[in-house]
């Protein structure tokens, strides 16, 4: 075989190999990390207990980061779990009237899965940083995953399809409220239940997770 013939044969073999790899990998995309948000663009409203006043509405935004595609039976751990909680100016005025002007603590947020399994029922130890808030207006506090938080793993179902994570009908927080007159911090366990609405609120994290 001439040198030119051998060179041509080598090129043909390489092209065939590349073509085979392309066929084998066609349709297989790398998973991207996306942010999933509960309720889509609408906060989820809970009725929550406060010291010295009756239960009041709190608008909760919750988010987490996870792959957009998860192979079946694979376990993933969400990251950047957190969000925010907002009370209205009216609720703020009620807290001011009973002497409170600050907050700090941790939140426990239960999560449910439409399919697959969770390693634990809640994300716990989500940090609510200390805030002394100014007089008047609504108050928004941040909720964030920190090193001491415990985040449930999610194992995808064995069959391909889709799955959805959701908030549940309750959440809680181990808080301390700051008493303006004395500077003391008062321990308080806040318990929240999903506000009944018509139509029912959407508590699902959007979008759904694709299971391949």
Side-chain half-sphere exposure of 172, counting CA atoms within 13 A = 6
Residues 108, 128: Cα–Cα separation, whole Å = 11
- Reduced to 3 states, what is the DSSP secondary structure of residue 42? coil
Q: Which of 46, 48, 74, 50 is nearest to 59 (CA)?
A: 46
140: nearest Cα among 59, 201, 202:
59
The strands making up 69-70's β-sheet, listed across from edge to edge, are 69-70, 209-211, 161-163
Q: Whole-model pTM above 0.95? A: no
Q: What's domain 32-211's architecture?
A: Sandwich (2.60)
Domain assignments of the chain as residue spans, ordered by start: 1-30, 32-211
Tens of each residue's pLDDT in the chain, 212 residues:
544 344 344 434 444 444 433 333 333 345 799 999 999 999 999 999 999 999 999 999 999 999 999 999 999 999 999 999 999 999 999 999 999 999 999 999 999 999 999 999 999 999 999 999 998 999 999 999 999 999 999 999 999 999 999 999 999 999 999 999 999 999 999 999 999 999 999 999 999 999 99
Take residue 204 and report the two structure tokens written for it.
């699902």
* β-pair type (165-167, 117-118): unpaired
């Amino acid at each position: 075989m001439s040198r030119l013939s051998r060179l041509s044969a080598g090129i043909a073999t390489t092209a065939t190999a590349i073509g085979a790899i392309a066929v084998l990998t066609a349709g297989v995309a790398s998973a991207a990390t996306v942010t999933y948000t509960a309720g889509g663009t609408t906060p989820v409203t809970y009725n929550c207990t406060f010291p010295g006043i009756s239960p009041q509405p709190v608008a909760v935004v919750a988010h987490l980061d996870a792959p957009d595609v998860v192979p079946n039976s694979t376990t993933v751990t969400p990251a950047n779990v957190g969000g925010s909680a907002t009370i209205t100016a009216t609720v703020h005025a009620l807290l001011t009237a009973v002497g409170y002007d600050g907050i700090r603590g941790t939140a426990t947020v239960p999560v449910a899965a439409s399919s697959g399994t969770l390693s634990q029922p809640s994300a716990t130890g989500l940090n609510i940083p200390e805030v002394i808030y100014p007089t008047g207006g609504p108050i928004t506090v941040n909720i964030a995953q920190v090193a001491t938080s415990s985040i449930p793993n999610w194992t995808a179902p064995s069959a391909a399809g889709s799955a959805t994570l959701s908030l549940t009908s309750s959440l809680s927080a181990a808080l301390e409220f700051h008493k303006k007159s004395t500077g003391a911090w008062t321990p308080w366990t806040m318990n929240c239940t999903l506000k009944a609405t018509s139509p029912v609120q959407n508590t699902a994290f959007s979008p759904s997770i694709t299971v391949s």
